[in-house]
């Protein structure tokens, strides 16, 4: 399943989350050839699982596809800056690059707060690119929360 | 399944992990009455899943048992200081207390490195008690790695 724009696919996953009454966050993992190994959206409410973030679900799926605990030649695209849980999972999976959409000043764990990849306790640091299609990623979240206030 | 010593149970889980060729770490979640809701050990190798830490597996099981994404009246016992991934998952699950055995200077995310519970991006901070049966918890890990060198 190749795709020319993994972040567009991640945005589509986020839109699916919204339709499922989930916080609209989507994630996609592609291999070095650009083939999609996993796509997931946040399922915390549906699964009643506080760990069911899009990134964690995508990592688990991609590892199952690969039959490997490492995803060293793979890149992750996610519509929101990963939290500390997901950032540490990204490090454990040894993902090559992380592309994220909106920054998350309240809950992010990459550019703020725990800054997981910058800690001496973090043994793999992916390349990180933030702000990819940021406006669209942020708008999905803003509209979702505005509708619930 | 009540138990007088959840950490003894967590140590038993860690020993089971060792027998399965997994890094010997075990975790147990008990409710306010002391009833065990979940017990798990590290399954990263067996499941080829870098997120399959004892704490994460125990949280997911306890949430499934409770049919809730929150475990607000529950306590987690784990033989090693949680990493940043597991610490953030503990915060998301709103666990009441965390009791851990050995400190983890190289990979911990509670007392070192990301210090997840001390970040402004962390919205629930459990009570934390480290060093519970520390010598036994540390010995299991030390012996495991010594045997592999």
Q: A40 — contact with chain B (CB < 8 Å)? A: no
Quote the CA–CA distance of A40 and A57 in Å, as a whole number: 6
Cβ–Cβ < 8 Å for A29, A76: yes
Place of tokens 């991006």: B121
Enter the pTM of the model: 0.96
State the pLDDT at residue A16.
Answer: 98
Residue A55 among the catalytic residues: yes
Beta strands in chain A (DSSP E): 26-30, 36-41, 75-80, 97-102, 127-129
Instruction: Using the CB atoms, write b or e for B43-71: b if 16+ within 10 Å.
Output: bbeebbbbbbbbbbbbbbbbbeebeebeb
Place of tokens 């993992």: A29
**What is the model's pLDDT at position B91?**
98
Count A/B contacts: CB-CB distance under 8 Å: 122
| Closest A-chain CA to B63 | A49
Indicate the residue of B69, B84, B85 with minimum beta-carbon distance to A49.
Answer: B69
Q: What is the CA angle B82-B86-B89, rounded to 5? A: 140
Picking from A84, A92, A108, the nearest residue to B50 by CB comes out as: A92
Residues of B whose CB is below 8 A from A114: 84, 88, 109, 114-116, 119, 121-122
Chain A neighbors of B50, CB-CB under 8 A: 59, 63, 69-70, 89, 92-93
Q: Is some CB atom of chain A closer than 8 A to the CB atom of B121?
A: yes
Asked whether the beta carbons of A110 and A102 are under 8 A apart, the reply is no
Query: What band does A107 get if pLDDT is binned at 50, 70 and 90?
Result: very high
Mutation site, A114, A122, A125, interface B, largest B CB count within 10 A: A114
Catalytic amino acids of B? Answer: 55
Residues 6+ apart with CB under 8 A from B40: B13, B26, B27, B28, B54, B55, B57, B58, B61
Which two tokens mark A47? 């699964």
Residue B33 CB burial class (10 angstroms; 0-12, 13-18, ≥19):
exposed
Cα A68–chain centre separation: 19
Alpha carbon distance A8, A68 (integer Å): 26
pLDDT by residue, tens only, chain B of 149 residues = 445 599 999 999 999 999 999 999 999 999 999 999 999 999 999 999 999 999 999 999 999 999 999 999 999 999 999 999 999 999 999 999 999 999 999 999 999 999 999 999 999 999 999 999 999 999 999 999 999 88
pLDDT band at A4 (very low <50, low <70, confident <90, very high): low
Burial status of residue A60 (CB atoms within 10 A of its CB: 0-12, 13-18, 19 or more): buried
Q: Is A68 on the interface with B (CB under 8 A)?
A: yes
- Is the Cβ of A69 closer than 8 Å to some Cβ of chain B? yes
Collapse the DSSP code of A36 into the 3-class scheme (helix H, G, I; strand E, B; otherwise coil) and give the result: strand
Query: CB B136: neighbour CB atoms within 10 A?
Result: 15
Per-residue model confidence (pLDDT) at position A2: 44
The pLDDT, as a whole number, for residue A1 is 44
Q: How far is CA B29 from the centre of its chain?
A: 9
* Cβ–Cβ gap B51/A56 under 8 Å: yes
B63 CB neighbours in chain A (<8 A) are 48-50
């Amino acid at each position: 399943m190749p795709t020319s724009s993994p972040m567009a696919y991640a945005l589509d996953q986020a839109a699916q989350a919204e339709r499922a009454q989930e916080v609209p966050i989507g994630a996609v993992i592609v291999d070095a050839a650009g083939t999609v190994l996993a796509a997931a959206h946040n399922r915390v409410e549906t699964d009643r699982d506080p760990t069911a973030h899009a990134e964690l679900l995508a990592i688990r799926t991609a590892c199952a596809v690969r039959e490997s605990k490492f995803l060293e030649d793979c890149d992750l695209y996610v519509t929101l800056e990963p939290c500390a849980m997901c950032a540490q999972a990204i490090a454990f999976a040894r993902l090559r690059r992380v592309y994220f959409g909106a920054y998350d000043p309240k809950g992010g764990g990459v550019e703020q707060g725990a800054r997981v990849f910058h800690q001496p306790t973090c043994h793999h640091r992916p390349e990180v690119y933030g702000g990819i299609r940021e406006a669209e990623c942020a708008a999905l979240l803003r509209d979702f929360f505005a509708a619930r206030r």
